[in-house]
């Protein structure tokens, strides 16, 4: 089949099912590609090929029709989620040698559908922050320019896809944690509705800001992986039923939206003018297809304080099981966030909850008029990896490490599905993502619209061959 690294996941699964190739062929190709590019990007710091080959052997002993949707396709897992017998460090020095005794529910689901797990992808400490670095594995560098950030927190997953060391990758998203890396690396990332992908076990199983989701190099591969990830599991109280029509089939229906809104900033954030222009030109592609495109946005008034309050509350709750000496050693941005969460009172949480309800209602009304909302995925192009976070944009100075992520976290707050699609390049050749947002639980429609737009844009985005460079330290 030629260079396997350059093939799509959909094509490779077809070849696996036809028994033209085996999972071992793919694992061999991955090892070769990792040896060639991983020193330059540091995307997959934990490898478990022995475990992967044993699982591949077990899979091959079964009839091909019982090998699950992926039929043996290898997949990496973000280093926040447990894979039995493999290190899970959370990017935290206190867990640098931690071996997971059991897999999380999501990993169980993936392996039940024929995923062969071979690596863990890099993430910032406990997934907090829009730049992928930590004191265990160091920073992940952008394959398109290794001086630059991959964003975060699913930065390792995005860099692996862009550099050909993964065909599919799992990410998670709170304040754009898989959407921002997708934009910076020129791949597709999809944050589905919370509950669409099973989560747990968790000390906070009812939280609604975090969502696991699929990442890949194109829309059809993302849709395939969402089919694999989706399951209704009684252990996860928020898990949703599996839809009757597979997401890949829904994407391939190639439906056009009836009416589209474009907003460069959602009325809540500055945006680099070049980013806004590239995204608007991409959005207007729908107009060439006969779709009405208007500049409009829901009213997100109050989103900043509301989101930051609820995020701090959920973070402090989800990390409440950690010992005090571990909490004392967290990176400063995360420690500050936890301190805010622990200091919240009833009035703070009540006010944020009521504001969230008001924004949700306004968004619901907005989507009675529009089928799709388009915005930039990130407000800036990739920034130097040495910078811990974006401190200003278009003349506006930010007050916290979260501020530059508002265009993503506004969507998170109201539990909408959102996909980042490569839509163009800056003058310096760095990719730009278009955020495609649908109404509640509209993953199938968003995937269909995204495939239509992907094919209309017809961008030449393939595997990047990064130049060798020693990983920079982030202070």
Q: Is residue 186 within 8 Å of residue 162, measured between CB atoms? A: yes
Q: Is residue 170 within 8 Å of residue 76, measured between CB atoms? A: yes
Q: How far apart are CA 372 and CA 283, in angstroms?
A: 11
Q: Are strands 396-397 and 418-425 parallel, antiparallel or unpaired?
A: unpaired
Q: Check 7, 78, 120, 331 and give the catalytic one.
A: 78
Give the residue from 9, 50, 5 showing the smallest Cα distance to 32.
5
Please say if 183 is a catalytic residue: no
Structure tokens at 187: 């791949």
Q: How far apart are CA 92 and CA 111, in angstroms?
A: 26
Give the residue from 163, 161, 156 showing the smallest Cα distance to 138.
156
Q: Is residue 217 within 8 Å of residue 161, measured between CB atoms? A: yes
Please say if 153 is a catalytic residue: yes
Neighbours of 300 (CB within 10 A): 24
Q: How far apart are CA 227 and CA 362, in angstroms?
A: 30
Give the residue from 474, 379, 392 showing the smallest Cα distance to 147.
474
Q: How far apart are CA 152 and CA 170, in angstroms?
A: 13
316-320 long-range contacts, CB within 8 A, separation 24+:
316/340, 316/341, 316/342, 316/344, 317/203, 317/204, 317/207, 317/341, 318/202, 318/203, 318/204, 318/207, 319/126, 320/203
DSSP state of 97: T
CA–chain centroid gap for 151, Å, is: 11
Please say if 259 is a catalytic residue: no
Structure tokens at 310: 């609820």
Q: Check 92, 121, 149, 153 and give the catalytic one.
A: 153
283 contact partners, CB below 8 Å, separation of at least 6: 260, 262, 293, 374, 434
DSSP state of 421: E
Q: Check 149, 172, 177, 318 and give the catalytic one.
A: 177
Q: Is residue 54 within 8 Å of residue 100, measured between CB atoms? A: no
Residue with tokens 């989103």: 303
- Residues marked as catalytic: 78, 153, 177
């Amino acid at each position: 089949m030629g260079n396997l690294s350059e093939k799509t996941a959909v094509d490779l699964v077809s070849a696996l099912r036809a028994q033209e190739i085996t999972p071992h062929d793919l694992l061999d190709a991955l090892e070769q590609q990792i040896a060639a590019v991983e020193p330059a990007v540091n995307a997959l710091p934990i490898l478990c090929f022995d475990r992967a080959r044993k699982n591949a052997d077990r899979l091959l002993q079964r009839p091909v029709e019982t090998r699950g949707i992926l039929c043996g396709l290898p997949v990496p897992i973000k280093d926040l989620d447990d894979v039995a017998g493999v290190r899970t460090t959370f990017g935290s020095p206190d867990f640098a040698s931690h071996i997971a005794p059991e897999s999380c529910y999501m990993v169980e689901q993936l392996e039940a559908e024929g995923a062969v797990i071979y690596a863990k992808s890099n993430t910032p400490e406990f997934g907090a922050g829009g730049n992928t670095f930590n004191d265990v594995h160091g920073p992940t560098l952008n394959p398109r320019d290794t001086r630059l950030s991959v964003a975060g927190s699913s930065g390792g997953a995005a860099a692996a896809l862009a550099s050909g060391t993964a065909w599919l990758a799992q990410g998670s998203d709170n304040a754009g944690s898989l959407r921002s890396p997708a934009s910076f690396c020129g791949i597709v990332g999809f944050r589905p509705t919370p509950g669409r992908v099973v989560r747990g076990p968790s000390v906070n199983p009812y939280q609604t800001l975090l969502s696991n989701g699929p990442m890949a190099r194109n829309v059809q591969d993302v849709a395939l992986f969402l089919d694999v990830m989706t399951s209704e599991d009684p252990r996860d109280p928020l898990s949703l039923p599996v839809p009757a029509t597979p997401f890949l089939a829904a994407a391939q229906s190639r439906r056009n939206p009836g009416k589209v809104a474009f907003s460069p900033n959602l009325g809540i954030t500055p945006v680099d003018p070049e980013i806004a222009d590239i995204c608007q030109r991409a959005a207007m592609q729908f107009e060439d297809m006969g779709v009405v495109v208007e500049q409009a946005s829901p009213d997100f008034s109050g989103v900043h304080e509301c989101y930051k309050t609820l995020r701090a509350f959920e973070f402090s709750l989800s990390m409440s099981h950690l010992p005090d000496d571990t909490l004392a050693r967290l990176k400063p941005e995360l420690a500050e966030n936890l301190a805010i969460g622990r200091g919240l009172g009833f009035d703070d949480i009540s006010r944020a909850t009521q504001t969230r309800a008001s924004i949700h209602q306004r968004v619901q009304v907005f989507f009675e008029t529009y089928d799709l909302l388009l915005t930039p995925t990130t407000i800036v192009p990739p920034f130097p990896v040495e910078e811990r976070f974006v401190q200003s944009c278009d003349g506006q100075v930010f007050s916290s490490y979260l501020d530059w992520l508002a265009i993503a976290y506004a969507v998170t707050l109201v539990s909408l599905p959102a996909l980042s699609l490569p839509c163009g390049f800056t003058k310096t050749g760095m990719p730009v993502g278009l955020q495609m947002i649908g109404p509640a639980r509209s993953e199938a429609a968003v995937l269909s619209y995204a495939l239509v737009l992907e094919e209309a844009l017809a961008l030449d985005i393939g595997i990047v061959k990064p130049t060798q460079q020693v990983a920079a330290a982030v202070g």
